[in-house]
Amino acid sequence: MKRLTLIRHANADWKNASVPDFDRPLNKRGLGEGEALGKLLLEQELVPDLVLTSPARRTQQTTEILVRKLALPARHVKAAESLYLAPLEDILALIRATGPKVQHLAVVGHNPGLSELAKQMAPEGVTVVDFSTGSACTLMFTARTWNNLSAPAARAFQLRPPTKLFSLFT
């Protein structure tokens, strides 16, 4: 069974219009969201084998917080240039290119691509809501390899920090 956790970056600073979108850092709220999500992932035992992350500053900072909270070695994190504002097709292509030894893959990126992918891959009858900043969705698949990943997922649930766990399918 393969587990895929899709994570939207935490809240970023919009105050300085001169900062390009790619370089926007997390704001105070975002730092708290990252900490809360990391704690929630740890509590739910959702520690990935590999994290793919967008190279944008806000996703890198979110990933750094999660890596620290989950005590992941740096070698388990890989920046993927194509994740920056990626549409669902590009995210899915990266996921399908993941090696078979990875059982739990996490992707830290942006909307609308992440929300659209989660909605497309969710089990029938399961409603996945758009990801707010600092939230996640975990999908489990019966596929043996990532290359064979296809909808629908066997199970799915959505995580919304700080303490809410929305069970969508059990």
pLDDT tens-place string over residues 113-167: 999 999 999 998 888 889 999 999 999 999 999 999 999 999 888 887 653 433 3
Has residue 103 been placed in a domain? no
Per-residue confidence (pLDDT) for residue 165, from 0 to 100: 38
Q: ω before 152 within 30° of 0 (cis)?
A: yes
More confident residue, 162 or 84: 84
Domain count, the chain: 1
Range of the domain at 27: 2-13+20-98+111-166
Residue whose C-alpha is closest to residue 104's, from 36, 168, 44:
44
CATH number of the domain that residue 59 is part of: 3.40.50.1240
Helix (H, G, I), strand (E, B) or coil at 93: helix
Has residue 104 been placed in a domain? no
pLDDT tens-place string over residues 14-46: 888 899 999 999 999 999 999 999 999 999 999
Contact call for residues 79 and 56 (beta carbons, < 8 A): no
Tokens 């919009």 appear where? 14
Has residue 105 been placed in a domain? no
Has residue 26 been placed in a domain? yes
Contact call for residues 83 and 134 (beta carbons, < 8 A): no
DSSP-derived letter for residue 124 is T
pTM score: 0.93
Contact call for residues 36 and 24 (beta carbons, < 8 A): no
Has residue 49 been placed in a domain? yes
Has residue 115 been placed in a domain? yes
| Buried/exposed 42-79: b ≥16 CB within 10 Å, e otherwise | eeeebbbebbbbbebbbbbbbbbbbbebbebeeeebeb
Structure-token pair, residue 85: 């504002």
pLDDT category at 170 given cuts 50, 70, 90 is very low
The residue-averaged pLDDT of 59-73 equals 97
Per-residue confidence (pLDDT) for residue 20, from 0 to 100: 96
Please give the share of the chain, as a percent, with pLDDT higher than 70. 94
Per-residue confidence (pLDDT) for residue 161, from 0 to 100: 65
